[in-house]
């Protein structure tokens, strides 16, 4: 196998809160290959944003990576890493809120070229030309005027295009987009998705696309990671996960996608909510909401098992396949 | 433009209320003003004469209109004590107070801005708490008492600065600057403390904003995130207290001029109160109020320069 | 951070508490008669007989500081009462009714603030003659703008709360709504404003008295003590230092108290 672009190995992230320290990410492992588009999906509060912030080492003060490793192009990423060199250069990030992600007092042009200023020796004019180019690439027109505008003069969709262009401008190897379409209305959402698709086709970079909406993930991703309560509970190629979901949570998310054929019926929602940090115990964290739960689900944490790149962690899977839990865990660890 | 028009109209209304307040405050003087000014042993004729001179025989509204007009034309009658037009007395004193206020404001800006940024950046450290206590102390110390301490330490003990009085700029510029340093510091102390605390809070508010995270995600270094992004945004709320800071500086110089015996408006005010020179008091107070109101309009204009969002909304 | 923030509350308690105690004790006991002069013992530094030394007439400074505390607390309490009453009236009307009433009241407040801080009090004193009553009234009026603004913003916010809307729908009268529903829920910012106003009244009183426009004899005043001490700054610096420290402690105490209360409320 070729060397993956990015690897996260058994990472824990904990919050230091007033009443104690709680794990918000628990044993997260995945890898991103060159040119791959990976989706991360899960309800709000599952730890998707936290995962992306961990990748960029942008965690909030009250949280901390307490275990695990990360590698980018084989280089270990840790506290000693020169993150300023990596951010905006090798990895770039797109945030959810186009309304607040831009500095209200700085022109679009200045903000766009900031990472070029940081990472290249281009002259002011070259930076400007480069900015025009990327802005056009993401479908913005009248770029000279936009360059001199302030964020408040732009619509939400335009701002999000600017934010995307800003991430692309330095041709990073990996782009992380945290719910880039969630805050936008449906038609704009579709346009932005289209921008992503066309841009990624042209460029030699990988994309982590975070969304709570499996429908969006299906449209643009090669592979999907399903997260629940700070853990990865299923991962696999998009076709596999969509056609043969293994985990009851994934099945629930799939049922909840609004589609044409379900028109007129009340939309399905998984009953219950994601358990808060303080209530995450041993065992399967989905147990309170799972229609298929068994006694052991409360006590034992299910291992992640599977084959051909499609893995899930649920006690049902051992039952069906008759796999020995320990054995499959070993197999799984080898895969990582 | 709507916002600016509103600001101007409401300032005019404020101005109107100020003049009403000041004018009528001096009308409620218990007893006959002429009598009070002249003292009990004045005779009937003297009182009549002064009443006429002050225009007290006219109806109230006429006098108010004349007085307001006088504020704008500079014709505010004669000072009773100095026996010369009020406006001329003021003209003599204004430069000292303006220079004092200005140097104190410059000092405030020079010290408070870096200090506020520094404290905000060192939030987690123990000395943030100590610095916090120091700013609290700066607010609590009476400025005139701090002036005494400065006089004692730098004037009496070390002899670095003159302890009182002032040398005109035209006489000896170096000496003039030296005579302003201690009083400016005394006025500035509490303002520095206020601005430091406020700036620290607004900076901390800004640090949690999304755009800061965006800047970091571009690889911008921490000190540049602070200088390019956070500080400018943090300044907008600081502008709202700038009007108050300027007003407090004026109020501060009224007291401090008396501590350091500087011949500005502040010492003039106290002298004219002692000598019951009402035309002078009235004029002086009105001009200070107008000045404060104008400063507030100027600050509103500054907003539009700093914050591009306002221009659009108009 | 939590402990540290409580620390400012604690320091505030200690400072205000000990000054209150000093004031209370002075009501029944002072080491000397505050007005008794000892001509042979003028301008002494601190000693066993006179813990804070003596002033230019040979009076015991500690006793005078204690008596001055009475004046400071009296002026503080009464001027806060004045400021609060007017602030409540103006602020609640302004915030509750909005519209042109709000506009007019706010312009009045702006007009008062155009005479910054002590200047307003100075003008009042200029019109009437300086006395304890005028000082109290002047400082009280001086604090009206800040009370008005704080109470106004409480009312503006509270108007949007569901329970207020609900009682309005049930036909509660304006006065009932304002003073039975909104006001009790705005107590904590008002308490913070009261402590802050107390400290600024102490500062204002000392400034006025220093200028000779504040409290007149026979009432003792810290500000006037500073005025009396000024000519002797080179001879007996301890006099001026001690009185200034007392004033600073009082102001600092109330400021820290208000800071601590605000933080404690914010954490809730
Ligand atoms: N600042 C914070 N303080 C405490 N807990 C937090 C904070 N931010 C996030 N969390 C917790 O971390 C978990 C993951 O959050 P997040 O990554 O934002 O979820 P997602 O992006 O999937 O919606 C949530 O359960 C949330 O409770
Ligand atoms: S492990 Fe048990 S509770 Fe968890 S998803 Fe599977 S069946 Fe449901
Ligand atoms: Mg999120």
List all residues 6 or more positions away from A327 whose beta carbon is below 8 Å from its beta carbon: none
Tokens coding B103: 């140097």
Residue A256 confidence (pLDDT): 83
Q: Which of B24, B32, B140 to mutate to test the interface with C (most CBs of C within 10 A)?
A: B140
Query: Which residue, B32, B49, B73, sits at the end of a domain?
Result: B73
Range with the poorest average pLDDT among A7-16, A271-280, C156-165: C156-165
Which chain A residue is nearest to residue B229, measuring alpha carbons?
A103
Q: pTM of the prediction? A: 0.85
Closest to A162 in 3D by CA, of A179, A180, A183: A180
Q: Which has the higher per-residue pLDDT, A164 or C49?
A: A164
Maximum Cα interatomic distance, chain A, rounded to a whole number of Å: 67
Q: Are B245 and C114 in contact (CB under 8 A)?
A: no
Residue C1 confidence (pLDDT): 41
- Ligand 2 atom nearest the C-alpha of A302 is 1
Q: Does pLDDT of B127 surpass 80?
A: no
Residue C2 confidence (pLDDT): 46
Q: Which domain does B17 fall in, by range? A: 2-73
Mean predicted lDDT score pLDDT of chain A: 87
The DSSP code sequence of A273-301 is -PPPGGG--SS-TTGGG-TT--HHHHHSP
Q: Does pLDDT of A334 surpass 50?
A: no
Q: Which member of A86, A95, A106 has the closest CB to residue B213?
A: A95
Omega within 30 of 0 (cis) for the link into C218: yes
- Secondary structure element (H or E) that encloses residue A69, with its range: strand A63-72
Q: Domain holding B94: CATH number?
A: 1.10.3720.10
Q: Does pLDDT of A38 surpass 90?
A: yes
Q: Does pLDDT of C219 surpass 70?
A: yes
Q: Are A209 and A223 in contact (CB under 8 A)?
A: no
Subunits close to B (at least 3 CB pairs below 8 A): A, C
**What does the alpha-carbon distance between residue A273 and residue C208 come to, in Å, rounded to a whole number?**
63
- Protein residues near ligand 3, an ion, with CB under 5 A: A 49
Q: Which member of B228, B236, B308 has the closest CB to residue A150?
A: B308
Provide mean pLDDT across the span A258-262: 71
Residue C245 confidence (pLDDT): 93
- Residue B152 and residue C234: Cβ atoms within 8 Å? yes
Q: Which residues of B touch A86 (CB under 8 A)?
A: 219
- pLDDT for A137-147, tens place per residue? 888 989 999 99
Domain shared by B60 and B126, yes or no: no
- pLDDT for C172-211, tens place per residue? 777 777 777 777 777 888 888 999 999 999 999 999 999 8
In chain B, the number of structural domains is 2
Residue A335 confidence (pLDDT): 46
Looking at residue B155, what DSSP letter applies?
I
Subunits close to C (at least 3 CB pairs below 8 A): B
Residue ranges of domains in chain C, CATH in brackets:
7-17+59-267 (1.10.3720.10)
- pLDDT for A167-225, tens place per residue? 999 889 999 999 988 878 888 888 888 888 888 888 888 999 999 888 889 888 999 99
Maximum Cα interatomic distance, chain B, rounded to a whole number of Å: 84
Domain shared by B35 and B132, yes or no: no
**Share of residues in chain A with pLDDT > 90 (%):** 47
Residue C66 confidence (pLDDT): 87
For chain C, percent helix, then strand, then coil, each to nearest 5? 75, 0, 25
Q: Would you place residue A324 in the very low, low, confident or very high pLDDT band (cuts 50, 70, 90)? A: low
- Residue B312 and residue A152: Cβ atoms within 8 Å? yes
Domains of chain A, residue spans: 6-90+172-335
Domain shared by B149 and B273, yes or no: yes
Helix axes of C187-210 and B143-150: crossing angle, nearest 10 degrees: 50
Superfamily of domain A6-90+172-335, CATH level 4: P-loop containing nucleotide triphosphate hydrolases (3.40.50.300)
- Residue A105 and residue B308: Cβ atoms within 8 Å? yes
CA C20 to chain centre: 13
Domain shared by B113 and B9, yes or no: no
Query: Within a domain: residue B81?
Result: no
Q: Which member of C113, C127, C244 has the closest CB to residue B247?
A: C113
Q: Would you place residue C5 in the very low, low, confident or very high pLDDT band (cuts 50, 70, 90)? A: low
**A45 Cβ closer than 6 Å to some ligand 1 atom:** yes
Size of interface A-B (CB pairs under 8 A): 78
Q: Does pLDDT of A133 surpass 70?
A: yes
Q: Does pLDDT of A325 surpass 80?
A: no
Domain shared by B59 and B91, yes or no: no
Residue C268 confidence (pLDDT): 56
Size of interface B-C (CB pairs under 8 A): 139
Domain shared by B24 and B171, yes or no: no
Q: Which residues of A touch B236 (CB under 8 A)?
A: 105
Q: Which residues line ligand 2 (CB under 6 A)?
A: A 247-248, 284, 286-287, 290, 292-294, 297, 302, 314-316
Separation in Å, CA of C161 to nearest CA in chain B: 25
List all residues 6 or more positions away from B31 whose beta carbon is below 8 Å from its beta carbon: none
Query: Which residue, B51, B73, B95, sits at the end of a domain?
Result: B73
Separation in Å, CA of A117 to nearest CA in chain B: 9
Q: Does pLDDT of B30 surpass 50?
A: yes
Q: Does pLDDT of B173 surpass 60?
A: yes
Domain shared by B166 and B294, yes or no: yes
Tokens coding C250: 């009082």
Provide mean pLDDT across the span C250-258: 92
Residue B35 confidence (pLDDT): 67
Neighbouring-strand partners of residue A75 = A72
Provide mean pLDDT across the span B206-218: 92
> Which ligand has the shortest distance to the CA of A43?
1
**What does the alpha-carbon distance between residue B87 and residue B280 come to, in Å, rounded to a whole number?**
8
Q: Which residues of B touch C127 (CB under 8 A)?
A: 25-26, 28-29
- For A113, A187, B148, B211, the CA distances from B226, given in Å and listed in that order, are 18, 37, 38, 12
CA A279 – ligand 1 centroid, Å: 14
Q: Which residue has the tokens 């506020």?
A: B116
**Share of residues in chain A with pLDDT > 70 (%):** 93
Domain shared by B229 and B289, yes or no: yes
- pLDDT for C82-129, tens place per residue? 999 999 999 988 888 888 999 899 999 988 888 887 888 888 888 887
Residue A323 confidence (pLDDT): 52
- Residue C252 and residue B140: Cβ atoms within 8 Å? yes
**A50 Cβ closer than 6 Å to some ligand 1 atom:** yes
Residue C3 confidence (pLDDT): 47
Provide mean pLDDT across the span A255-265: 74
Domain shared by B61 and B173, yes or no: no
Query: Within a domain: residue B79?
Result: no
Domain shared by B141 and B270, yes or no: yes
Q: Which member of B30, B278, B288 has the closest CB to residue C115?
A: B288
Q: Is A198 in the B-facing interface, judged by CB distances under 8 Å? A: no
Looking at residue A260, what DSSP letter applies?
G
CA A63 – ligand 1 centroid, Å: 10
> Which ligand has the shortest distance to the CA of A302?
2
Provide mean pLDDT across the span C20-28: 86
Domain shared by B49 and B157, yes or no: no
Q: Which member of B10, B18, B148 has the closest CB to residue C233?
A: B148
Domain shared by B212 and B240, yes or no: yes
CA B197 to chain centre: 19
- pLDDT for B229-251, tens place per residue? 999 899 888 888 888 899 989 98
Residue B185 confidence (pLDDT): 93
Looking at residue B227, what DSSP letter applies?
I
Q: Would you place residue A238 in the very low, low, confident or very high pLDDT band (cuts 50, 70, 90)? A: very high
Q: Would you place residue A7 in the very low, low, confident or very high pLDDT band (cuts 50, 70, 90)? A: very high
Subunits close to A (at least 3 CB pairs below 8 A): B
Q: Which residues of C touch B151 (CB under 8 A)?
A: 233
Q: Are strands A223-228 and A63-72 parallel, antiparallel or unpaired?
A: unpaired
Query: Within a domain: residue B49?
Result: yes
What own/partner pairs with CB < 8 Å and gap ≥ 24 does A140-145 have? A140/A165
Provide mean pLDDT across the span A281-308: 86
Separation in Å, CA of B292 to nearest CA in chain C: 5
């Amino acid at each position: 196998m070729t060397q993956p672009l990015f690897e996260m190995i058994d990472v824990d992230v904990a919050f230091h809160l007033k009443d104690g320290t709680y794990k918000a990410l628990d044993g997260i492992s995945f890898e991103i290959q060159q040119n791959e588009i990976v989706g991360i999906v899960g309800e709000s509060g599952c730890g998707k944003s936290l995962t992306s912030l961990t990748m960029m080492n942008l965690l909030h003060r009250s949280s901390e990576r307490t275990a695990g490793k990360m590698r980018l192009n084989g280089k270990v990423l840790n506290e000693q890493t020169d993150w300023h060199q990596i951010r905006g250069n090798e990895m770039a990030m797109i945030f959810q809120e186009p309304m607040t992600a831009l500095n209200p007092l700085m022109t679009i042009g200045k903000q766009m070229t900031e990472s070029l200023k940081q990472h290249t020796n281009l002259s002011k004019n070259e930076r400007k030309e480069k900015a025009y180019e990327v802005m056009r690439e993401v479908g913005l027109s009248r770029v000279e005027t936009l360059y001199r505008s302030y964020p408040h003069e732009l619509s939400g969709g335009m701002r999000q295009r600017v934010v995307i262009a800003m991430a692309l401008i330095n041709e990073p190897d990996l782009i992380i987009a945290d719910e880039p379409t969630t805050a936008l209305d449906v038609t704009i959402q579709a346009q932005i998705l289209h921008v992503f698709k066309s841009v990624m086709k042209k460029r030699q970079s990988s994309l982590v696309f975070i969304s709570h909406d499996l429908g969006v993930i299906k449209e643009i991703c090669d592979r999907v990671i399903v997260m629940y309560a700070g853990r990865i509970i299923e991962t696999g190629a998009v076709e596999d996960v969509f056609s043969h979901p293994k985990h009851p949570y994934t099945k629930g998310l799939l049922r909840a996608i609004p589609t044409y054929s379900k028109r007129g019926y009340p939309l399905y929602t998984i009953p219950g909510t994601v358990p808060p940090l303080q209530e995450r115990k041993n065992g399967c964290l989905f147990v309170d909401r799972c229609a298929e739960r068994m006694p052991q689900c409360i006590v034992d944490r299910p291992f992640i098992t599977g084959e051909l790149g499609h893995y899930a962690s649920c006690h049902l899977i051992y039952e069906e396949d008759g796999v020995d839990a320990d054995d499959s865990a070993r197999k799984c660890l080898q895969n990582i | 433009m709507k916002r600016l028009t509103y600001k101007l109209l409401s300032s005019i209304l404020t101005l109107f209320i100020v003049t009403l307040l000041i004018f009528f405050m001096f009308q409620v003087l218990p007893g006959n003003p002429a009598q009070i000014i002249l003292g009990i042993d004045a005779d009937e004729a003297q009182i009549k004469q002064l009443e006429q001179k002050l225009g007290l025989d006219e109806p109230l509204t006429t006098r108010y209109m004349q007085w307001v007009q006088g504020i704008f034309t500079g014709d505010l009658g004669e000072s009773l004590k100095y026996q010369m037009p009020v406006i001329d007395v003021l003209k003599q004193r204004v430069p000292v107070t303006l220079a004092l206020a200005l140097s104190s404001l410059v000092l405030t800006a020079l010290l408070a801005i870096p200090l506020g940024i520094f404290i905000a950046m060192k939030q987690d450290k123990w000395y943030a708490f100590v610095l916090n206590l120091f700013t609290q102390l700066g607010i609590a110390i009476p400025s005139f008492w701090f002036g005494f301490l400065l006089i004692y330490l730098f004037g009496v003990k070390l002899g670095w600065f003159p302890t009182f009085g002032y040398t005109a700029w035209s006489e000896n510029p170096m000496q003039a600057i030296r005579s302003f340093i201690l009083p400016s510091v005394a006025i500035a102390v509490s303002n520095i403390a206020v601005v430091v605390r406020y700036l620290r809070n607004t900076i901390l508010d800004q640090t949690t904003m999304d755009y800061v995270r965006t800047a970091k995600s571009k690889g911008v270094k921490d000190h540049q995130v602070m200088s390019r992004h956070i500080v400018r945004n943090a300044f907008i709320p600081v502008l709202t207290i700038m009007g108050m800071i300027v007003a407090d500086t004026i109020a501060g110089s009224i007291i401090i001029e008396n501590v350091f015996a500087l011949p500005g408006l502040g010492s003039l005010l106290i002298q004219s109160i002692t000598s019951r020179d009402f035309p002078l008091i009235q004029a002086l107070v009105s001009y200070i109020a107008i000045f404060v109101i104008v400063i507030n309009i100027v600050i509103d204009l500054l907003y539009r320069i700093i914050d591009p969002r306002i221009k659009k909304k108009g | 951070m939590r402990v540290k923030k409580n620390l400012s509350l604690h320091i505030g308690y200690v400072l205000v508490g000990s000054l209150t105690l000093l004031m209370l004790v002075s009501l029944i006991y002072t080491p000397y008669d505050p007005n008794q002069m000892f001509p042979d013992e003028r301008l002494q530094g601190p000693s066993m007989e006179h813990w804070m030394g003596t002033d230019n007439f040979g009076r015991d400074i500690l006793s005078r500081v204690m008596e001055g505390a009475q004046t400071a607390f009296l002026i503080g309490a009464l001027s806060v009462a004045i400021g609060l009453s007017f602030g409540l009236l103006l602020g609640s009307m302004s915030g509750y009714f909005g519209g042109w009433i709000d506009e007019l009241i706010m312009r009045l407040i702006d007009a008062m603030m155009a005479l910054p801080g002590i200047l307003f009090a100075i003008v009042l004193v200029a019109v009437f003659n300086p006395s304890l009553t005028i000082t109290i009234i002047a400082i009280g009026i001086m604090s009206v703008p800040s009370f008005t603004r704080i109470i106004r913003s409480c009312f503006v916010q509270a108007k949007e709360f569901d329970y207020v809307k609900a009682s309005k729908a049930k036909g509660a009268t304006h006065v009932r709504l304002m003073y039975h529903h909104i006001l009790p829920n705005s107590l904590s910012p008002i308490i913070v404003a009261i402590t802050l106003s107390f400290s600024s009244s102490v500062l204002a009183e000392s400034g006025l008295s220093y200028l000779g426009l504040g409290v007149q004899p026979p009432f003792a005043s810290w500000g006037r003590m500073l005025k009396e001490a000024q000519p002797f700054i080179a001879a007996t610096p301890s006099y001026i230092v001690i009185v200034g420290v007392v004033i600073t402690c009082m102001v600092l105490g109330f400021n820290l108290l208000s800071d601590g209360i605000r933080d404690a409320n914010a954490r809730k």
